Structure 1
């Protein structure tokens, strides 16, 4: 079952029921096993009452030994059945946990780059880790406590009905009382849980941002600033947590006081009935009734203290709905696929405007405004212009991360909005300004997405990327590069990224400021590697240093989302326009 088909964030209880539907057999089995293994809780008081009556009434000792044997069997069965219950319930709960995390992971891969641009990675991490764990904890605890209360209540009511039916109305009073208390506090607990969840997500985003900025923070002696910002965030989490704890504590205390008063009343009432002889109640019955009511009130109290845990779990269901029900997805299913790409990319009167680019009441200016551009197979097209001129937006449209609101983009004549972009991207490679590497070996990073490559192909790509020398020094293909390539310099990371692009053998190549953060020596090595990578491939280049794009087939100069000049380096310098001024300023 796909959780997306049954997910409804506005009805979290219904969603939980749908999630556990495939686990019905396991849940029923766990319930049966629990009822048997939990039987000592409601059988022992009845057996204890019999023992007391045997002593008080001086009945034969053989009855005592028989009751003792029954007690031993009832207690000993708890151990093997408890293990069976835990195994059965755990399989059901952990299966739902895995299903939810996989659904969130799958959805994150489907959501548009625009969504990821708007949403903090720390917030998404919280949903996958903390929110799913909340649902698991609420499910397990609710099942444990719910089954304990139900089996205890059923056993106590049945045995009380058989021995002292006059006390059944008192026992039955506790259930509607508990329901009333839960309903009275439910809305307030839900509101406090929502506030606390929001503050925790903000904290997660802040922690992620702080960790990412540590090199900048330390380099500019801004540690105190970051500490103060974190202190403010943690203060909000603390206050929201305190408000939540007070609501939960008030609820638990009220429930405990009321049920304990009822327990005292039951004990006194049973003793009075036995003393006055009003009903046929023995001393053993008094002990049994008192024990049952204490056990029952304890179970009901436990049920009511579940309310905060359940509220927390339901709020987490709503939180996950912010991802699972997000509509901003990249639709690829059912669209035709490409099994070959030559590399002709054409922009036909393309306009794109970011939804969040303007303030309230303002109209955003287009990031790309009526762009017409053609890149033929094997050509290199360089995009230059000031910050905000639309260069990166063009690259994101080429990759398919953004879809134009007006006009269309075609690849070999196929409208990109009408094809499965995943099939197109198999023929695409991207080398960004900051290469994205993960903790693992050099082989793992270079062959990412191309796992069928042998070592010879990987080694050849590293040689072409001017990376083999430092790879050999590190110990070869199995050398570990550290988290995010922490053991490598900037130039080395870029050369690994180029090697990764080379092994893909792309037809369309996107280079986004691939050399802007490098020193002269590293830039020279990377430029040599890029030259090999770009040969024979349709390439879109954004470069800060104009010296790196002078050999481009065409240079496109952009301002405010529009093309103002197009030509070769020599033509544009000779024209004496915007590019010539930029080139002169860079000398």
Structure 2
């Protein structure tokens, strides 16, 4: 067997596999909504019978009313009423069928799509943060929107294709009853239509598949560019992003042009075949009328049926054209739904109130390939060191740490030392590669769903605010009274500026809090965590954008808060570090030393060099300024 023959055989097998896969998907959809789908098919059947019945009505009207009227040279009112009444009745039935088919077909399609979108978005919520790090937001949006829609769009033409089978059978019976010879003449167009549709599908399948994949790529690039609007504007990267977006949209344009060119080539052919068949039927019918084998009305009826019955074949072509998109989109969605990396939970719940005891025992963590973290923008080096490297080092390596209830502990270390990773691990946003994290002696993996988020709160440096009111951003939809919101805002040193806003707590802050400064956004994020009275509060450099005096007031307020919290903070400022009960010095993902700030200054040279760097730089600048003066 030659290479060309082998390639053709493989292509045919691939097309058959696509069709079988699509039929299984369609079968699942029918089982989900059997009643509504059946009503859509019934509507299509009514449409098909009425459409084929139009040929009979036209033939009957022509034979019993039009031809006698032409012969008599006049037409009376009653005859006109019969003609219009017969045609109007068929048109009314056709309209009812079209409405039923489209309404119930749309209910099936959009109903299943809505259910699938809910399944996809719920899966997004169940999947761990590490999975989200590996998948761009644009891709996730494409999965939940474009891919879900493409998967189930086939249910729009499908009821029509099934219903018009009745039209095909009804029409063939009519032609056989009128004149079997003319039926055979007319049926010559159907093999031609099927061949044309087969060629069309072979050409269209790879083109439609490519176009669907490129739609997802466009969504990913567009979302990323919009999310990075601040970086793009500030770095003058508009032209680069424009070129990047133009490149991927250009590929999509070419793919869509290829789809349109193929469709534009085959549509006229598919349209022309039944028209040519109608001309052949009229020519043959004229001869049979001359021989007395048929009447003119019967020729009109057969010719009309030939034109009408080409529609079912085209309807199946539309369905076949959707099958590749259905399969490609379904597989993209299923890859999300079949992900098994869910966060596991146990049955246990935390007892007691007040600050928790936090314990880390032999905790290690390694980032997987293509993972990235946005927990702290400054720790990009930390991620770069562990992504895309064959033997990636541990971002956190064998950390043992125990924090007594109510204590404030500062994590200090250079960029890439694992501080932000450790902060995320303590709130179970990242799962440990090895080791155990415990609250009050209970392993986090044994806690019931929601227990960790009820007990602990993380405030990252990269603050996110919703396009909502101040109150909405603090409560996040929970039933929290305004007095509690005000207390949290006062503790976060945010009440003064919130009270001065145009509508106070009801002021809209804009997308990502665009109407507020960086420090104001950080304070709102802190209030959002504090209002829930967490037993463990993790601050990942969460006050870096506020004035030092404000930061000190916030930290003093946290220490004095009734009930209190165990506080773990990632800190850089010397004033912040000095407030901690204990300092943990990290380097290379490991604990180098721990103790009070004063103790570490006296015995840990690298720690002293790190925390006094800012002070040394300030002194050097002052000396240079004095010398130049």
Are 1:271 and 2:281 matched, yes or no? no
Contact 2:350/2:447 (CA < 8 Å) preserved in 1?
A: no
In the TM superposition, what whole-angstrom CA distance separates every residue of 1:337-376 from its partner, at most 9, and x where no partner exists?
A: 3143652222221222112176778211111111211122
Distance in 2 (CA, whole Å) between partners of 1:232 and 1:534 is 58
Choose from 36, 41, 45 the match for 1:26: 36
Contact 1:509/1:534 (CA < 8 Å) preserved in 2?
A: no
In the TM superposition, what whole-angstrom CA distance separates every residue of 1:305-342 from its partner, at most 9, and x where no partner exists?
A: 4433343233221221221122332233xx21314365
Change (3 A) 1:530 1:239: farther
Change (3 A) 1:252 1:455: same
Deviation (angstroms), 1:81: 5.7
Distance in 2 (CA, whole Å) between partners of 1:415 and 1:107 is 24
Deviation (angstroms), 1:169: 4.6
Distance in 2 (CA, whole Å) between partners of 1:257 and 1:83 is 28
Are 1:314 and 2:305 matched, yes or no? no
What is the match of residue 488 of structure 1?
516
In the TM superposition, what whole-angstrom CA distance separates every residue of 1:394-438 from its partner, at most 9, and x where no partner exists?
A: 122112122222222222222223333422221111111122211
Choose from 26, 39, 61 the match for 1:16: 26
Deviation (angstroms), 1:297: 1.5
Residues 438-447 or 173-182, more deviating? 173-182
What is the match of residue 97 of structure 1?
113
Change (3 A) 1:529 1:434: farther
Residues 388-397 or 215-224, more deviating? 215-224
Choose from 148, 170, 176 the match for 1:132: 148
Choose from 556, 563, 569 the match for 2:597: 569
Choose from 462, 475, 483 the match for 2:489: 462
Choose from 406, 416, 421 the match for 1:378: 406
Distance in 2 (CA, whole Å) between partners of 1:411 and 1:41 is 72
Change (3 A) 1:378 1:545: same
Distance in 1 (CA, whole Å) between partners of 2:192 and 2:589 is 67
Residues 391-400 or 149-158, more deviating? 149-158
Residues 567-576 or 47-56, more deviating? 47-56
Choose from 328, 346, 349 the match for 1:338: 349
Are 1:400 and 2:428 matched, yes or no? yes
Give SS of 1:351's match: strand
What is the match of residue 364 of structure 2?
351
Change (3 A) 1:441 1:138: same
Map 1:124-273 onto structure 2 (within 5 A). 124-144=140-160, 146-147=161-162, 149-169=164-184, 178=193, 181-186=196-201, 188-273=203-288
What is the match of residue 3 of structure 1?
none
What is the match of residue 512 of structure 1?
540
Are 1:435 and 2:450 matched, yes or no? no
Residues 214-223 or 40-49, more deviating? 214-223
Change (3 A) 1:319 1:45: same
Give SS of 1:378's match: coil
Contact 2:130/2:430 (CA < 8 Å) preserved in 1?
A: yes
Contact 1:337/1:424 (CA < 8 Å) preserved in 2?
A: no
Query: Unaligned regions of 5+ residues in structure 1, if any?
Result: 1-7
Backbone CA RMSD of aligned residues: 3.1
Contact 2:363/2:432 (CA < 8 Å) preserved in 1?
A: yes
Are 1:560 and 2:575 matched, yes or no? no
What is the match of residue 70 of structure 1?
86
Residues 46-55 or 114-123, more deviating? 46-55
Contact 2:189/2:273 (CA < 8 Å) preserved in 1?
A: no
Map 1:473-484 onto structure 2 (within 5 A). 473-474=500-501, 475-484=503-512
Are 1:50 and 2:60 matched, yes or no? yes
What is the match of residue 3 of structure 2?
none
Give SS of 1:426's match: helix
Q: What TM-score comes out, normalization by structure 1 length? A: 0.88
What is the match of residue 308 of structure 2?
295
Change (3 A) 1:525 1:204: farther
What is the match of residue 128 of structure 2?
112
Distance in 2 (CA, whole Å) between partners of 1:310 and 1:374 is 58
What is the match of residue 442 of structure 2?
414
Distance in 2 (CA, whole Å) between partners of 1:517 and 1:262 is 78
Give SS of 2:568's match: strand
Residues 401-410 or 56-65, more deviating? 56-65
What is the match of residue 5 of structure 2?
none
Distance in 2 (CA, whole Å) between partners of 1:532 and 1:16 is 62
Residues 536-545 or 513-522, more deviating? 513-522
Residues 525-534 or 291-300, more deviating? 525-534
Choose from 79, 86, 104 the match for 1:88: 104
Residues 169-178 or 185-194, more deviating? 169-178
Change (3 A) 1:187 1:352: farther
Contact 1:138/1:309 (CA < 8 Å) preserved in 2?
A: yes
What is the match of residue 4 of structure 1?
none
Deviation (angstroms), 1:137: 3.4
In the TM superposition, what whole-angstrom CA distance separates every residue of 1:5-32 from its partner, at most 9, and x where no partner exists?
A: xxx9993432332234231111112222
Give SS of 1:440's match: coil
Give SS of 1:477's match: helix
Choose from 327, 337, 353 the match for 1:324: 337
Change (3 A) 1:343 1:288: same
Change (3 A) 1:454 1:10: farther
Distance in 2 (CA, whole Å) between partners of 1:187 and 1:114 is 40
Contact 1:491/1:526 (CA < 8 Å) preserved in 2?
A: no
Contact 1:400/1:421 (CA < 8 Å) preserved in 2?
A: no
Contact 1:193/1:315 (CA < 8 Å) preserved in 2?
A: no
Change (3 A) 1:20 1:380: farther
What is the match of residue 548 of structure 1?
576
Residues 68-77 or 432-441, more deviating? 68-77
Q: What TM-score comes out, normalization by structure 2 length? A: 0.83
Change (3 A) 1:138 1:156: same
Distance in 2 (CA, whole Å) between partners of 1:185 and 1:253 is 12
